[in-house]
Amino acid sequence: MINIQKATLEDFEKIYNSYMLKQFPDSELKKFDDFVMLLSCREYCYNLYLALNNSETVGYVFLFEGEKFLWVDYIAVLPEFYSKGYGHKVIEAVKNKFDSVKGIYFEVEKPDTKDVNTLRRIKFYNSCGVKKLDCEYFYPAGDKMLPMDLYFLPVKVEHPSKIEIRNNITEVFTKLHFMCTSATKILETNFN
């Protein structure tokens, strides 16, 4: 059984330097100092959780904790635990720990037949019960807007309404992605 435990800034530094720099493309990765700012200030509702199997770290998840929803900013299993079923267990552990929220959002790359990893990740999320939402979504990456898909894992509701999706995206962009110059442009373009 996997347990989810809130991490310290020391844990973050180790995860960032040892894993994140290798596991995520630069275009999707926040700057180290931005992570520290978000993790250090309670008003941002942003936390890193370690996924533990007994006392051994097998993965991690960065969550923005909205009032009625969770937003997965980053989630990964450590490389030494790939292909051992831990990804499903980590998602299930997050869902169980936060069972009072309506659901959990995931930002997922668009399918690319030239990159089998995108297809593999989408298949993985679908196998966990995570479903693609019918909305146009752009990930704010500095001054760029990366087209991505937005997925949802039901916890208390099967599907959020269009208004809930818009309100949740707005909250995430103003409290999490605000340091990206493209965040305001994305909100103005798509949600006004």
**Per-domain boundaries in the chain:** 2-190
Please give the residue that has the higher pLDDT: either 146 or 12.
12
pLDDT at 44: 76
Mean pLDDT across 22-31: 88
pLDDT at 190: 62
The tens digit of pLDDT for each residue in 108-129 reads 999 999 988 889 999 999 999 9
192, pLDDT greater than 70? no
Q: Mapped to the 3 state alphabet, what secondary structure does the chain carry?
A: CEEEEECCHHHHHHHHHHHHHHHCCHHHCCCHHHHHHHHHCHHHCEEEEEEEECCEEEEEEEEEECCCEEEEEEEEECHHHCCCCHHHHHHHHHHHHCCCCCEEEEEEECCCCCCHHHHHHHHHHHHCCCEECCCCEEEEECCEEEEEEEEEEECCCCCCCHHHHHHHHHHHHHHCCCCCHHHHHHHHHHCC
Please determine, for residue 139, whether its predicted confidence score (pLDDT) is greater than 90.
Answer: no
Q: CATH topology for 2-190?
A: Aminopeptidase (3.40.630)
Mean per-residue pLDDT over the chain, rounded: 92
Place 146 in a pLDDT band, splitting at 50, 70 and 90. Answer: confident
pLDDT tens by residue, 153-178: 999 999 999 999 999 999 998 898 88
Higher pLDDT, 192 or 65: 65
Decide if pLDDT at 70 tops 70.
yes
